């Protein structure tokens, strides 16, 4: 059979099943690659997240401290 004849023949269930099996195998292979890369990147991501959280807490502390100094009330006590 030539390619022209191949394009016009009806598609059988076995052809569809073979294609489906190939697609599923390729998806499983790609998923495995992605999971391996994600697991390898997890420690780095965790360190970055912890570092960002600490930085946010420090910045908020410093901003609150300087704001508190500006708005704090000065109480003067006089003795007689």
Tell me the two tokens of residue 18: 């073979």
Q: pLDDT-derived band of residue 53, with 50, 70 and 90 as boundaries?
A: very high
Tell me the two tokens of residue 16: 């569809």
Q: pTM of this prediction?
A: 0.45
Residue 7, pLDDT score: 65
Rounded average pLDDT over 48-72 = 87
Kindly tell me if the per-residue pLDDT of 63 is higher than 70.
Answer: yes
What digits encode the pLDDT tens for the residues 2-17? 555 666 667 677 767 7
């Amino acid at each position: 059979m030539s390619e022209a004849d191949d394009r016009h023949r009806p598609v059988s269930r076995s052809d569809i099943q073979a294609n489906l099996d190939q697609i599923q195998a390729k998806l499983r292979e790609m998923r495995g690659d992605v999971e391996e890369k994600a697991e390898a990147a997890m420690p780095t991501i965790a360190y970055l997240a912890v570092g960002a959280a600490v930085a946010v807490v420090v910045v908020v502390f410093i901003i609150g401290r300087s704001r508190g100094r500006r708005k704090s009330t000065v109480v003067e006590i006089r003795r007689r």
